[in-house]
Structure 1
Amino acid sequence: MHTKPSRRLTGIDAARGVALFGMMSTHVLPLYTPGTTEATWTALLFSGRASGLFAVVAGIGLALLTGGHAQHRDRTLSADRRGIAVRALVIALIGLVLGGVETNIAIILFHYGVLFLVALPFTGLRVRALAAWAAGWLLLAPVAAYLLRPVVAATVDPPSLGANPIFEHFLEPGTLAADVFLTGYYPVLQWLGFLLVGMVIGRLDLSRLGTQLALLGAGAAAAIGAKLLSAQLLGPGGGLAALLQTPDGSRYPLEAMLDVGLAGVDQSGSWWWLAVSAPHSGTTLDLVHVAGSAAAVVGLCLLLTRRFPAALLPLSAPGAMTLTLYSLHVCVMSWADQLDPLPEPLQLFWLQVVGAVAIGILFQRVGSRGPLELIASGAATAARDGHTDVRR
């Protein structure tokens, strides 16, 4: 009776491990072939997809924390929400601390914590209502972002932080809010769609073979379909030609960036921006492609760990402590950037991967969680259970 949940969680941890190593690769390895505007395999595989997978798995985690397939209700759900809120605050605080580290990495943790808080009202929805919200959010949030960005640019000065959030940015609440929700690297307005998709997945019976196959098949179909539709709209539909006439479309090597990412590009001046599916463009087709890719990865990881929970141990062990390992990675990269000469990227990447796998397996063998996971889960448990004890 207890094997199914463990296998399910092992597969989810493995998917989280894929996200961790995918993000690490985009931080360490070049995204363009040196001397060209041609995307590298790292960019083609992981740019935008790894961090999106991280967010989708976060949504699965929220669903599991609130009962998973056997959804919690009433007082139990209220206690769950208190625990999640405290967990989110701890993660956001860690993100603010890491924001003060000198690094070129766009740190996701503060936005991650905000996403947890914004997703709390959705934790009580049944799976069908949740699926409707997820579909509507993926469809309409990018349109809202397209309409709101020019308004924010005209009213908030500056509209974006241009750096990772730190404690001092709370002195500029307008700019901080604009960056976190709309103009930053991980805009919460659109990225909430990833958490909602993950919550839908987490409400399914993930131990069933049919569910796992459906995630793999439907996810792959959605990911491929979004890319094909975007290619049709931009090519024969004339979208790319129109975008090349916009201010930033004419300023940047847009065709090359469509494979690597549009972070930092002002996507205004033409509704055709909503037809792209480039990483970090935040369009409907981008969100559907990334969410579909994430669902397929989750389905595949669940399938591969179905009979043998330890089959993906090099992924699932570090995937069980990504908060600690991600934070350690940011610190390592900050240290490496100060070395002269700079370390060779491929060597630096594999050293970190091997180190993360070794640390993950070590903590699993001694039956412990990562130190930051212990802090976050301990605070969440105290908030969840402490209030109940007082009521009694």
Structure 2
Amino acid sequence: MVTDAARDGRSDGIVVRGLARDERDRWYGTLLRAFGGVPEPAEARELYDALTEVDRSLGAWDGEACVGTAGAFGFRLTVPGGAAVPAAGVTMVSVAATHRRRGLLTSLMRRQLDDVRSWGRPLAVLTASEPDIYGRFGYAVATHRVDVEVDTARVRLSVPPGTDEVRLRYAAPADVLDVCEAVYARKVPGRPGMLVRLPGWERLPLLDPEASRAGASPLQCVVAERDGEVVGYARFRVKPESDEGGPRGTVILEDTEALDAAAHAALWRFLFDIDLTCTLTARGRPVDEPWQYLVSDPRRCRPRLRDALYVRLVDVGAALEARTYQAPVDVVLEVEDAFCPWNGGRWRLMGDAKGATCERTEDAADLALSVRELGAAYLGGVTLDALAAAGRVRELRPGALAEASVAFASTVAPWLPHGF
């Protein structure tokens, strides 16, 4: 049996190893300093202390000093077809500024991906504070998000039939948490990239430290109901402002879900119409969210596209078998993966809307690509055609690219509902 010390000792004396519980505070101090040194509000620190999985956390130690950190949450991520696939949510990654350019991040990523593989999780996912870091470890952008700033004084909504049948009521966010979470849970299978809310994570949307409000109100909530059933909700804040012309407040949307078109429209109409406001801001929304097709003037919504979830296939065969494909596909993939060489080689993927198999093969390859391209295309939001146009995928059998690109795509844009 190989011990941690034998596996993780480095020639420069730094050791990368699993975190002990009594080292948590020192480990967290290193992480906090790397991200600027500003303490989190106590409410947020308490929640993340509770959610942190110490047995999935790594520290890099130079003697008694912690000089690097990495952690992982045990998530279940939805994929095309609706399955919730076990995934490692990579988080809390840092290297002390005193220990740059010494290969420490590579050591942390090496150990972490080995661990993820040993846990039997075919995927690793993360959100990147610095996007150019993680490509060399096999991660690629798989989902995008839209941030908007809507001029609600000038933009109108054209709502669908049935909107007026939806009734809205204010409620304290904590009082309706269960019914809101039930709505969220019903939405999860229908959109790739969403996270099944495991115990404890339902508290995340209710985080409301005063220090983080920037002059806005405490968190507010409305629920949408039809025939006594909750069919949607919106959590938001209001930031009162005014100038010589009168009130110019801002509505800050934090979180919303709806089960049908009428409930969705009713919630967004409410947000547009809140008294004494003329702006609605929302961050991290799906790129295909329906409100965009109800507005009278999309330019006055000022949409901005940003990267969101980065995906890394840790076990190519298991990952490709875990999702379905919107069209029949039978393709041999020549996969390059220098960082996780167990993924390298040829894989035959056969699948359709009912399921898939992906196994090693000696057959001639139809497409050649790296594990990064597979990660980008995995949730269906980035097409293989687009990656081929960028020179990232090579077609070796005529017609294979079109076949695979259609099969991998999702009719619903993948979306990460919240960070971690």
TM-score, scaled to structure 2: 0.22
Query: Which of 1 and 2 has higher RCO (CA within 8 Å, sep 6+)?
Result: 1
Which structure has the bigger radius of gyration?
A: 2
Q: Provide TM-score, normalisation by structure 1.
A: 0.24
Higher strand share: 2
